[in-house]
Amino acid sequence: MRPFALPANARRAVPQGLAAIALALVSPLALSQVTVFGVLDAGLNRVSADGSGSRMSLSPDGNTSGRLGFRGTEDMGGGLKAHFWLELAVGVDDGTSGGTSTTNKDSLSTGGATFGRRSTVAIEGSFGELRLGRDYVPSFSNLTTAMHPFGTNGVGSSGHLFYQVNAGGTTARTNVRASNALVYVLPSNKAGFYGSAMVALGEQSSGAVTSDDGNHKGVRLGWRQGPLNMAAATGTTTYATGDYTQTNAGINYQMGPAKLMLLWGENKVGVTRTRATMVGTQWDLSAKTELRAAYTTLTATGVANDATHLALGVVHALSKGTALYATWARIDNEGTGVRFGVGLAPKTAGGASSGFDLGIRHSF
């Protein structure tokens, strides 16, 4: 049997057709700069609590939240740029993704490639940036490593104390992010000032007492100059069972190798309230090794109990993208309280909870 052969004109048409398809695919990309990025973080975690025993596990996010993201920018000329940002959570220990609340009221839905960390499209110019989608609420930014040595990850996180205690039938979903949001971000060249404002919709039906549930408004304003950085933020989410308000302020000062940090926060859920104050530091022991320490006190009104949190840790960079970390922390509940723990809450009245993380973080 003779081998099959294309006619001469067809042989010329095939590479020409492939070239045309390749050009069609590449041309739109030439207008944008698209970046794939992410963080993978996993480590050994052990926690124990009075009356609850202990637990050993392989856990994600001991130092930084695992994620996979895609972001892109198109320069439209005249000082205008368009952006997109899609980011999902990645749990290295079991490969699961994160969740999202579609109405800022419903329970967190999980599964699949849910871009629950951030999903925004934006336009930017000399006026600043306007974003649409799901994003951090302004009042969360002060709880990250911008103002807290450990941010909101691992046993060193004071998120246990700086987040709200739900009460009175209210289960707030906006202590970190909000969906259906319009966000305005100040331009970055305004004499050291920075900040953002957000309006987010709960998208409830009208005509009911719950029609405003999930609606969120928040604002953050900061100033950074030389070694000094400070910012204050507040945000309120409406719920028929009692509004949720998160307010905080942070300041840090770079003094030689040490960044000194002070953070205050208040959470109100209906008539209940918790207030937390943290003092801490990120101290460069060398060009590759950083010591972290934080001490937090919490006072509660009408809910939960008072508590204290002590955390010590070290991060050692192996390269620009990879680091080893170790963190130890302890939470003490005051009085007869049992509300707070570092991954495992005590069952003994006034009990303590402690734990450690040993892990590796890789960024790309």
Q: Is residue 104 part of a domain?
A: yes
Domain that holds residue 119: 43-363
CA separation for the pair 59, 309 (Å, rounded): 21
Question: Does residue 220 lie in a domain region?
Answer: yes
Answer yes or no: is 30 within a domain: no
Looking at the DSSP assignment, which residues form a beta bridge with residue 275? 266, 299
Q: What is the pLDDT of residue 219?
A: 98
DSSP 257: T
In a domain, 96, yes or no: yes
* Number of domains, the chain: 1
- Please give the Cα distance from 84 to 143 (Å, whole number): 24
Smallest CA-to-CA distance from 153 within 354, 332, 308, 342 is with 342
Question: Is 73 domain-assigned?
Answer: yes
Instruction: Please give the C-alpha separations between residue 208 and each of 121, 167, 204, 333, in angstroms, as whole numbers.
Output: 31, 22, 9, 40
Residue 24 inside a domain? The answer is no
Give the CATH number for residue 59. 2.40.160.10
* 161 within a domain of the structure (yes/no): yes
Per-residue pLDDT of the chain (364 residues; tens, 9 = 90+): 444 444 555 444 444 544 444 444 444 444 578 999 999 999 999 999 999 999 999 999 999 999 999 999 999 999 999 999 999 999 999 888 878 888 998 887 766 668 999 999 999 999 999 999 999 999 999 999 999 999 999 999 988 899 999 999 999 999 999 999 999 999 987 899 999 999 999 999 999 999 999 999 999 999 999 999 999 999 999 999 999 999 999 999 999 999 999 999 999 999 999 999 999 999 999 999 999 999 999 999 999 999 999 999 999 999 999 999 999 999 999 999 999 999 999 999 999 999 999 999 999 9
Determine which helix (DSSP H) or strand (DSSP E) holds 18, and give its type and residue range: helix 8-30
Work out the burial of residue 8: count CB atoms within 10 Å of its CB; fewer than 13 is exposed, 13-18 middle, 19 or more buried: exposed
pTM of the shown model: 0.88
**27 assigned to some structural domain:** no
Q: Which amino acid makes up residue 45?
A: N
Q: Residue-wise over 117-147: b if at least 16 C-beta within 10 A, else e?
A: bbbbebbbeeebbbbebbbbbbbbbbbebbb
